[in-house]
């Protein structure tokens, strides 16, 4: 039976056997070393220095080991040499003396020789007969006989005497040498003894060894330094230059490619590829940051440059002004004269802004018909505004475009660093807010951002949210204000006025929420509802047998520009079953004066439906009276501001009179709004005004109340008639 795939017990696998323990530890050590090298020697330079230093250290260590392991050998060799020299001298001297005692001066000279401690001559019986050390004379070296026998065996060879207790009393001494001496003159035989001073010899050799080591170390250090320098010059420096070049992209190309070797070739190839990449990157950046039509920077590059200007101003202190210039009616230029003409207008504007630019200023096209300008180093908000209005004036100078003479209106929103914000993004948003305000103020306006504009924007957002909800929940109401015929006192019509009962803020006036609805586009739904409700209500009153009246509905500029306005009205009239003669639209004078040709077309279509058109707030919009002829209007409504002063006894009546006469001359009837007193009413009647509307006749009221008012129409009329009688 066999057992397959049976794993080993973990203990068995993990426990290194005694045999495997050492290689495992070695592997661990090598791995640790590698890790340490990888963390500490990251640069090429440190690796080279580390390597050379290690080689030097190993060489010095090996030399040290060699010097100290051969020390004993050298010591013995040196001792042999010294003893051998003394022996040779003694042998030569012995050949000439008569008796061993005569060798005394020779022994004394040998005893004084360097590293020889003592020299002595002993007789055959071992008694010392002459010595360099007087205290030794007469002493016996009897136990040395065996040694002497050895010496006899090889007379020429100096032998170390192993036992010298009798001589020194200090035990065996390595430096003792003995030899047989034949004294040919006397025929004696003697033993010459030489003691080498091993301590001093060892000390000398030790000093020599340390000196050798010191020189070796110094030489190794010098060699490492020299090799390091050479390696650095030949290999490391070029590679480092190459690395720096690769890191810094373009800087250092010349330095890296000056080497004529392979490194230079690599550097040149790198330089070429960097250059190509940099060129195409620069081309792309240029395309991405430039507006193709005007050659100015675009919004993205403007923001970056503006941020740079802010950073500069922050460092050196000072103001930076930023303005957004919007071309008025640019869409109309495109629509009526074509896109090529629109392009020319943009290019002309760009040229003007470039022409007016001071050193350090930034000009860019940041939107379809919007240009941004940064004024650097200005002293005050007034200076910035002055420069902005200079630009607006320059753009507004009349010019020819083909056969046409044009005058380009513009307006400006402006913001200042640091008081309006410290960040390019925030400042641009603030300039945008100021621009919306400038657009409301009209052509030529230069509006400086103020904090309140921002607060107003927050409030607007809140109103917009609430209004959307109110429209969805059908919380809006229509009130009706009567219009009365001056001659008969009869109610001839009513103006439908929208009301918004806000659950927290009470009634919010239309002058607050209608502009918000216009900005957000919500006004389209609003108008649709007002039209529908007014038609429904009017039809209801007619069905209830009340006097037939015309109900006027206010429409906004946005409604007037919508192509589907005529269809919406036609559909509403059909759906509610109301005859068109009972519906009137009120458009303000300023609305019809913008884009006159388009508006005339729309008004004609509406008029052809059979509904009446009244021009509201007449007299406030500076309309060219010449246009009035062309407008298919049924009624002019004199603005409340003129009615206010009409009965003051001075010249307040002049303008209303001109309007009334003019309207009548054109076959248009006149209604005066905001009539609050009998005096005003009387004056208007005197001037020939056809109808009146105002608190004097009746306030805007909810449908039920208006119904009662209409039902009792003669009563209302009586009041008017009574006033007329009184006058």
Q: Minimum CB separation from Mg ion for residue 388, in Å?
A: 33
Strands 370-378 and 319-327: antiparallel
694 binds, among ligand C2E, Mg ion, none (CB under 5 to 8 A by kind): ligand C2E
Q: In the set 466, 586, 589, 691, which binds Mg ion (CB under 5 A)?
A: 586
Rounded to an integer, what distance in angstroms lies between the CA atom of residue 677 and that of residue 644? Answer: 9
498 binds, among ligand C2E, Mg ion, none (CB under 5 to 8 A by kind): ligand C2E
725 binds, among Mg ion, ligand C2E, none (CB under 5 to 8 A by kind): none
Structure tokens at 189: 């035989």
Query: Is the Cβ of residue 51 or residue 476 nearer to ligand C2E in the bound state?
Result: 476
User: In the sheet that 370-378 helps form, which strands lie side by side, from edge to edge?
Assistant: 362-367, 370-378, 319-327, 410-417, 446-448
The one segment of 58-66, 225-233, 327-335, 615-623 that binds Mg ion by CB under 5 A:
615-623
Nearest to 353 by CA among 297, 418, 425, 272: 297
Q: Minimum CB separation from ligand C2E for residue 319, in Å?
A: 40
The one segment of 219-227, 320-328, 586-594, 696-704 that binds Mg ion by CB under 5 A:
586-594
Helix (H) / strand (E) containing 415? strand 410-417
DSSP symbol at 169:
S
Residues of the shown chain interacting with ligand C2E in the complex, contacts defined by CB under 6 A: 481, 497-498, 509-511, 514, 527, 530, 554-556, 586, 616-617, 673-676, 694-695, 700
Q: Minimum CB separation from ligand C2E for residue 544, in Å?
A: 23
Q: Minimum CB separation from Mg ion for residue 673, in Å?
A: 5
Q: Which backbone phi and psi does 169 adopt, to 5 degrees?
A: 65, 10
Sign of the CA dihedral with 445 first, then 450, 455, and 458 last? positive
Rounded to an integer, what distance in angstroms lies between the CA atom of residue 393 and that of residue 437? Answer: 19
Q: Minimum CB separation from ligand C2E for residue 527, in Å?
A: 6
Rounded to an integer, what distance in angstroms lies between the CA atom of residue 593 and that of residue 571? Answer: 27
Query: Is the Cβ of residue 428 or residue 697 nearer to ligand C2E in the bound state?
Result: 697
Helix (H) / strand (E) containing 414? strand 410-417
Q: Minimum CB separation from Mg ion for residue 620, in Å?
A: 9
Q: Where do the H-state alpha helices sit in 248-363?
A: 253-257, 262-289, 299-316, 330-332, 339-356
Tell me the Ramachandran region of residue 166: left when phi exceeds 0, alpha when psi lies from -120 to 50, beta otherwise: alpha
Q: Minimum CB separation from ligand C2E for residue 419, in Å?
A: 35
509 binds, among Mg ion, ligand C2E, none (CB under 5 to 8 A by kind): ligand C2E
Q: Minimum CB separation from ligand C2E for residue 702, in Å?
A: 13
Give the number of residues written for the chain: 727
> Any contact of residue 584 with Mg ion (CB under 5 A)?
no
Query: Is the Cβ of residue 530 or residue 583 nearer to ligand C2E in the bound state?
Result: 530
Query: Is the Cβ of residue 97 or residue 636 nearer to Mg ion in the bound state?
Result: 636
> Any contact of residue 420 with Mg ion (CB under 5 A)?
no
Sign of the CA dihedral with 332 first, then 333, 338, and 339 last? negative
3-state DSSP call for residue 616? strand
695 binds, among Mg ion, ligand C2E, none (CB under 5 to 8 A by kind): ligand C2E
Q: Minimum CB separation from ligand C2E for residue 642, in Å?
A: 13
3-state DSSP call for residue 224? helix
Query: Is the Cβ of residue 420 or residue 617 nearer to ligand C2E in the bound state?
Result: 617
Q: In the set 432, 617, 690, 691, which binds Mg ion (CB under 5 A)?
A: 617
606 binds, among Mg ion, ligand C2E, none (CB under 5 to 8 A by kind): none
Of 539-578, which residues contact Mg ion (CB under 5 A)?
A: 554
> From residue 11, how far is each of 7, 8, 14, 15, 16 by CA, in Å?
11, 8, 5, 6, 9
659 binds, among ligand C2E, Mg ion, none (CB under 5 to 8 A by kind): none
Rounded to an integer, what distance in angstroms lies between the CA atom of residue 513 and that of residue 77? Answer: 118
> Any contact of residue 589 with Mg ion (CB under 5 A)?
no
Q: Minimum CB separation from ligand C2E for residue 497, in Å?
A: 4
Query: Is the Cβ of residue 595 or residue 616 nearer to ligand C2E in the bound state?
Result: 616
Q: Minimum CB separation from Mg ion for residue 693, in Å?
A: 9
Query: Is the Cβ of residue 103 or residue 551 nearer to ligand C2E in the bound state?
Result: 551
DSSP symbol at 127:
B
143 binds, among ligand C2E, Mg ion, none (CB under 5 to 8 A by kind): none
556 binds, among Mg ion, ligand C2E, none (CB under 5 to 8 A by kind): ligand C2E
255 binds, among ligand C2E, Mg ion, none (CB under 5 to 8 A by kind): none
Query: Is the Cβ of residue 266 or residue 675 nearer to Mg ion in the bound state?
Result: 675
Query: Is the Cβ of residue 414 or residue 551 nearer to ligand C2E in the bound state?
Result: 551
141 binds, among Mg ion, ligand C2E, none (CB under 5 to 8 A by kind): none
The one segment of 153-161, 406-414, 499-507, 611-619 that binds Mg ion by CB under 5 A:
611-619
CA–centroid distance for 154 within its chain? 98
Query: Is the Cβ of residue 267 or residue 552 nearer to Mg ion in the bound state?
Result: 552
End-to-end CA distance of the chain: 134
DSSP symbol at 142:
G
Sign of the CA dihedral with 685 first, then 690, 691, and 692 last? negative
Q: Minimum CB separation from Mg ion for residue 587, in Å?
A: 9
Query: Is the Cβ of residue 656 or residue 700 nearer to ligand C2E in the bound state?
Result: 700
> Any contact of residue 616 with Mg ion (CB under 5 A)?
yes
Which residues pair with residue 120 across a beta bridge? 131, 193
Structure tokens at 503: 């659950």
Q: Where do the H-state alpha helices sit in 95-177?
A: 104-112, 145-153, 165-168
> From residue 440, how far is each of 19, 274, 588 by CA, in Å?
94, 53, 15
> From residue 208, how far is each of 196, 226, 319 by CA, in Å?
18, 26, 81
Query: Is the Cβ of residue 474 or residue 511 nearer to ligand C2E in the bound state?
Result: 511
Residue with tokens 């406030």: 620
700 binds, among ligand C2E, Mg ion, none (CB under 5 to 8 A by kind): ligand C2E
Q: Where do the H-state alpha helices sit in 161-236?
A: 165-168, 198-231
Rounded to an integer, what distance in angstroms lies between the CA atom of residue 584 and that of residue 590? Answer: 18
- Count of residues near Mg ion by CB under 5 A: 4
Q: Minimum CB separation from ligand C2E for residue 553, in Å?
A: 6
Q: Minimum CB separation from ligand C2E for residue 573, in Å?
A: 17
The answer to whether the beta carbons of residues 155 and 179 sit under 8 Å apart is yes
Residue with CB nearest Mg ion?
Answer: 586
The answer to whether the beta carbons of residues 475 and 500 sit under 8 Å apart is yes
> Any contact of residue 481 with Mg ion (CB under 5 A)?
no
Q: Minimum CB separation from ligand C2E for residue 316, in Å?
A: 51
Query: Is the Cβ of residue 111 or residue 674 nearer to Mg ion in the bound state?
Result: 674
| Site residues for Mg ion per CB under 5 A | 554, 586, 616-617
């Amino acid at each position: 039976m066999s057992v397959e795939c049976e794993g080993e017990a973990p203990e068995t696998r993990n426990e290194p056997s005694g045999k495997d323990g050492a290689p495992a530890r070695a592997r661990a050590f090598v791995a640790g070393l590698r890790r340490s090298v990888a963390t500490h020697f990251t640069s090429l330079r440190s690796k080279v220095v580390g390597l050379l230093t290690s080689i030097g250290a190993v060489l010095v260590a090996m030399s040290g080991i060699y010097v100290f392991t051969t020390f004993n050998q050298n010591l013995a060799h040196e001792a042999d040499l010294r003893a051998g020299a003394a022996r040779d001298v003694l042998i030569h001297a012995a050949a000439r003396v008569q008796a061993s005692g005569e060798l005394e001066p020779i022994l004394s000279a040998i005893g004084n020789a360097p590293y020889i401690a003592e020299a002595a001559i002993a007789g055959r019986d071992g008694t010392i007969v002459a010595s360099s050390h007087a205290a030794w004379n007469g002493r016996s070296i009897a136990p040395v006989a065996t040694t002497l026998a050895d010496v006899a065996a090889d007379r020429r060879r100096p032998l170390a005497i192993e036992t010298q207790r009798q001589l020194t009393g200090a035990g065996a001494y390595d430096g003792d040498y003995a030899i047989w001496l034949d004294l040919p003159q006397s025929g004696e035989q003697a033993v010459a003894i030489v003691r080498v001073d091993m301590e001093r010899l060892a000390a000398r050799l030790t000093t020599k060894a340390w000196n050798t080591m010191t020189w070796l170390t110094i030489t190794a250090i010098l060699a490492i330094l020299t090799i390091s320098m050479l390696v650095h010059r030949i290999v490391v420096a070029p590679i480092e230059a190459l690395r720096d070049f690769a890191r810094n992209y373009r800087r250092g190309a010349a330095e890296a490619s000056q080497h004529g070797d392979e490194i230079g070739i690599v550097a040149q190839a790198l330089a070429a590829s960097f250059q190509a990449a940099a060129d195409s990157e620069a081309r792309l950046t240029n395309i991405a940051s430039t507006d193709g039509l005007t050659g100015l920077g675009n919004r993205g590059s403007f923001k970056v440059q503006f941020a740079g200007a802010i950073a500069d101003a922050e460092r050196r202190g000072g103001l930076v002004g930023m303005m957004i210039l919007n071309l008025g009616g640019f869409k109309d230029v495109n629509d009526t004269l074509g896109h090529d003409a629109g392009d020319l207008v943009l290019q002309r504007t760009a040229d003007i802004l470039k022409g007016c630019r001071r050193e350090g200023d930034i000009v860019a096209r940041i939107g379809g018909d919007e240009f941004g300008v940064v004024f650097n180093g200005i002293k005050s908000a007034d200076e910035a505004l002055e420069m902005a209005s200079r630009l607006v004036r320059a753009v507004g100078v009349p010019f020819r475009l083909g056969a046409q003479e044009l005058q380009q209106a513009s307006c400006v929103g402006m913001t200042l660093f640091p008081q309006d914000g410290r960040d390019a993004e925030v400042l641009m948003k603030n300039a945008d807010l100021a621009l919306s305000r400038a657009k409301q103020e009209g052509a030529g306006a230069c509006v400086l951002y103020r904090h309140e504009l921002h607060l107003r924007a927050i409030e607007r957002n809140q109103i917009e949210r609430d209004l959307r909800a109110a429209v969805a929940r059908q919380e809006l109401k229509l009130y009706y204000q009567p219009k009365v015929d001056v001659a008969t006192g009869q109610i001839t019509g009513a103006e439908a006025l929208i009301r918004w009962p806000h659950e927290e803020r009470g009634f919010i006036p239309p002058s607050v929420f209608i502009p918000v609805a216009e900005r957000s586009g919500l006004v389209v739904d609003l108008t649709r509802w007002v039209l529908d409700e007014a038609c429904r209500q009017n039809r209801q009153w007619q069905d209830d047998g009340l006097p037939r009246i015309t109900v006027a509905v206010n429409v906004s500029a946005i409604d007037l520009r919508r192509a589907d306005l005529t269809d919406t009205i036609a559909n509403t009239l059909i759906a509610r079953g109301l005859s068109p003669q009972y519906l009137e639209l009120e458009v303000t004078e300023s609305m019809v004066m913008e884009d006159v040709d388009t508006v005339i077309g729309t008004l004609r279509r509406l008029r052809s439906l059979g509904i009446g058109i009244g021009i509201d707030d007449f007299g406030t919009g500076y309309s060219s009276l010449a246009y009035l002829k062309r407008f298919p209007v049924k009624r002019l409504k004199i603005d409340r501001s003129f009615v206010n002063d009409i009965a003051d006894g001075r010249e307040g009546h002049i303008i209303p009179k001109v309007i009334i006469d003019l309207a009548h001359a054109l076959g248009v009837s006149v209604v005066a709004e905001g009539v609050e007193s009998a005096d005003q009413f009387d004056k208007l009647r005197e001037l020939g005004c056809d109808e009146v509307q105002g608190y004097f006749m009746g306030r805007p009221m909810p449908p039920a109340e208006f119904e009662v008012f209409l039902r009792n129409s003669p009563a209302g009329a009586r009041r008017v008639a009574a006033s007329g009688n009184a006058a």
